């Protein structure tokens, strides 16, 4: 990619300088010779054909050909990966699914991608609504998520850290609030995190937390959301099995705190107009129990 960019820059600089030289030459000739110096009709025809058709055509073919060739080289040289992550663009959030080597789902989360440092991850990109674009500027280039198609990208993080990503293709009214993070961890920390993410929930023993789960199910939250290990098995919204471990809510729109979570549940449209989640009016005791239960999903 760097070689392609430098090549384009060198060629464009050459064309720019050539045009400036020709322009200066023409102006000098015009001022020196006056109106009596004019090019012949045949010479003008050759100039237009050569300079306006042939040379630009050669340039375009050369630049497009070099781009396609380098793209092919990049595709052929992608390293083998034992880690496959599917990222699906939703309205307006990101679903993240981890698979093992046999293609079996390990864990499912939302808006936060965790990867091991120094290891290549194969990223499968899909969308079930409109075109999105997956872009973590410090890690890789943009790759579109196109409905009905699976595009592929590869990320090999070189440094441990947290990298911000975003949707780089206008996808609707909340496009500007469709962010994600990529957290790069050491290999052993990543393995422990993934094993923990694969862990389902159990029905809580604490009566207050159990009441929270009952509220979650009674208000039909499980119709859209999954909490693995419970009757909540909805697929429309983010998987909430480990909600308390996430840094933010609504694809990076608000922090994952008790107050913001309460506001989000009560009136999502006030936070992110146009989202598919409806408002939920709760009695104070029910709200406290639900928030306590969701806070326990670590």
Q: Give the pLDDT band (50/70/90) at residue 195.
A: very high
58 and 107 share one domain:
no
Count up the domains in the chain and report the number.
Answer: 3
Residue 44 domain boundaries? 2-76
67 and 98 share one domain:
no
Please answer whether residues 157 and 184 qualify as being in contact, where contact means their C-beta atoms are separated by less than 8 angstroms: yes
On the question of pLDDT at 259 being above 90, the answer is yes
On the question of pLDDT at 32 being above 90, the answer is no
Last residue of a domain, one of 165, 197, 229: 197
47 and 12 share one domain:
yes
**Short-list 193, 192, 167, CA closest to 251:** 167
Whole-number Å distance between alpha carbons of 294 and 244:
7
102 and 192 share one domain:
yes
114 and 175 share one domain:
yes
**Per-residue pLDDT at 141:** 86
62 and 106 share one domain:
no
188 and 87 share one domain:
yes
**Per-residue pLDDT at 80:** 62
**Short-list 184, 137, 181, 179, CA closest to 156:** 184
256 and 166 share one domain:
no
On the question of pLDDT at 76 being above 80, the answer is no
Q: Does 159 fall in a domain?
A: yes
* Helices and strands of the chain, counted as H and E runs: 8, 12
Extract the tokens encoding 273.
Answer: 């107009």
On the question of pLDDT at 42 being above 80, the answer is no
Phi-psi group of 170: left, alpha or beta (phi > 0 → left; psi -120 to 50 → alpha; rest → beta): beta
66 and 126 share one domain:
no
Alpha helices in the chain (DSSP H): 2-33, 41-49, 55-76, 187-197, 207-218, 258-266, 268-271, 284-295
pTM for the model stands at 0.78
Whole-number Å distance between alpha carbons of 157 and 71:
21
The values of phi and psi at residue 243, to 5°, are -55, -40
Q: Give the pLDDT band (50/70/90) at residue 11.
A: confident
Q: Does 202 fall in a domain?
A: no
CATH number at residue 233: 2.60.40.420
69 and 92 share one domain:
no
101 and 192 share one domain:
yes
The values of phi and psi at residue 169, to 5°, are -130, 125
129 and 151 share one domain:
yes
**Per-residue pLDDT at 256:** 97
**Per-residue pLDDT at 78:** 61
**Percent over 70 (pLDDT), the chain:** 95
């Amino acid at each position: 990619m760097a070689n392609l960019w430098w090549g384009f820059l060198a060629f464009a600089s050459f064309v720019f300088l050539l045009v400036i030289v020709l322009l200066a030459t023409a102006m000098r000739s015009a001022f020196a010779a006056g109106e009596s110096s004019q090019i012949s009709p045949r010479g003008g025809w050759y100039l237009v054909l050569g300079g306006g058709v042939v040379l630009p055509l050669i340039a375009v073919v050369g630049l497009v050909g070099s781009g396609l060739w380098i793209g092919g080289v990049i595709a052929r040289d992608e390293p083998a990966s034992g880690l496959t992550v599917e990222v699906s663009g939703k309205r307006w959030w990101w679903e993240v699914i981890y698979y093992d080597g046999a293609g079996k789902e390990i864990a499912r989360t939302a808006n936060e991608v965790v990867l091991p440092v120094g290891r290549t991850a194969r990223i499968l990109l899909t969308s079930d609504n409109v075109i999105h674009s997956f872009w973590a500027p410090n890690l890789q280039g943009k790759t579109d998520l196109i409905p009905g198609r699976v595009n592929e990208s590869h990320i090999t993080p070189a440094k441990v850290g947290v990298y911000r990503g975003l949707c780089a293709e206008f996808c609707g009214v909340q496009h500007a609030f469709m962010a994600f993070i990529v957290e790069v961890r050491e290999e052993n920390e990543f393995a422990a995190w993934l094993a923990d993410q694969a862990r389902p929930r159990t029905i809580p023993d604490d009566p207050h937390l159990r009441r929270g789960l009952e509220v979650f199910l009674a208000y039909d939250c499980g119709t859209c959301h999954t909490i693995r290990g419970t009757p909540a098995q909805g697929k429309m919204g983010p998987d909430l099995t480990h909600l308390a471990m996430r840094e933010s809510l609504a694809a990076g729109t608000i922090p994952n705190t008790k107050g913001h979570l309460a506001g989000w549940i009560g009136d999502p449209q006030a936070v992110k107009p146009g989202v598919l989640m409806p408002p939920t009016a709760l009695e104070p005791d029910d709200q406290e129990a639900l928030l306590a239960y969701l806070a326990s999903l670590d």
